[in-house]
Amino acid sequence: MSFHERLQRETAAERAHLLSAPILQDAVSGRVTLTQYRAFLGQAFHHVRHTVPLLMACGARLPARHEALRHAIAEYIDEEIGHEEWILDDIAACGGQREAARNAEPGVEAELMVAYAHDWIARKNPVGFFGMVHVLEGTSVSIATTAAERIAHSLHLPPAAFTYLNSHGSLDQEHVRFFATLMDSLDDEDDRLAVIHVARVMYRLYGDLFRSLTRSLTLQHEAVAA
């Protein structure tokens, strides 16, 4: 069994926790509301804007024996830079306010995802950061394109409102293949365990982010009704 296959097997329960989030089930069924979609984009902005800084921090902390990973990080940076602006474009295309989204405070779940990744890079093992990469890219491949198609159809939104989802659904298929090769090159068990551990935690945090969208919108509706 390759390490990438092991990574998928040993994080299966946490991945199931993420994918069972009600709002994800609604997304692939075309039942997401415009408010929910904007809320998702708002929280996506708050973790995606940290992707490049996290990649840079990881690359700077990697030891010399991981020069191949550092080169891979350079490729990731080239691919990922500026994607947070795509999300703001999507928000504007579905009637939201770009600058309001940019300046809003992140939800605690998005904040914890970023803080946890920084902690592993700075204080533990920077290779563990690839556990976060696994979660975000794998989830995009699983649901992004299907969700974009269903949401566009049900809400009658233009293609310009789905730049982020559509690009990541297709782009990340290539990324996952590249990522699998990269992970299979890891020959140190401590590095492998770090990736597995961070992936497990990130699946939980990312799942909680999606669940928080449902909770916050429910509370808003209850407040209006009262």
Q: How far apart are CA 134 and CA 78, in angstroms?
A: 18
Give the integer Cα–Cα distance in Å for 111 and 104: 12
* Number of Cβ atoms within 10 Å of the Cβ of 156: 8
Whether the Cβ atoms of residue 77 and residue 55 lie closer than 8 Å to each other = yes
pLDDT of residue 104: 95
Residue 153 half-sphere exposure toward CB, CA atoms < 13 A:
11
Give residues with Cβ within 8 angstroms of 155, minimum separation 6: 32, 33, 34, 37, 94
Contact 112, 205 (CB under 8 A): yes
Nearest-Å Rg of the Cα atoms of the chain is 17
Taking the domains of the chain in order of start, what are their residue ranges?
Answer: 3-225
DSSP labels, 161-184:
GGHHHHHHHHHHHHHHHHHHHHHH
The position carrying tokens 């030891």 is 63
pLDDT of residue 169: 62
Cα 188 from Cα 151, distance rounded (Å): 43
Residue 115 sits at the vertex; the CA angle it makes with 145 and 93, to the nearest 5 degrees, is 35
The structure's pTM equals 0.90
The answer to whether residues 186 and 192 touch, using CB atoms and an 8 Å cutoff, is yes
Distance CA 126, CA 70 (A): 11
Please give the Cα distance from 38 to 43 (Å, whole number): 9
Find tokens 């690359």 and name the residue. Answer: 59
Tens of pLDDT, residue by residue, the chain (226 residues): 899 999 999 999 999 999 899 888 888 787 889 999 999 999 999 999 999 999 999 999 999 999 999 999 999 999 889 999 999 999 999 999 999 999 999 999 999 999 999 999 999 999 999 999 999 988 876 677 788 888 988 899 999 999 988 887 655 567 778 899 999 999 999 999 999 999 999 999 999 999 999 754 444 443 333 4
The fold adopted by the segment(s) 3-225 is Heme Oxygenase; Chain A (1.20.910)
Judged by DSSP in three states, 20 sits in coil
Placement of tokens 């504007």 in the chain: 92
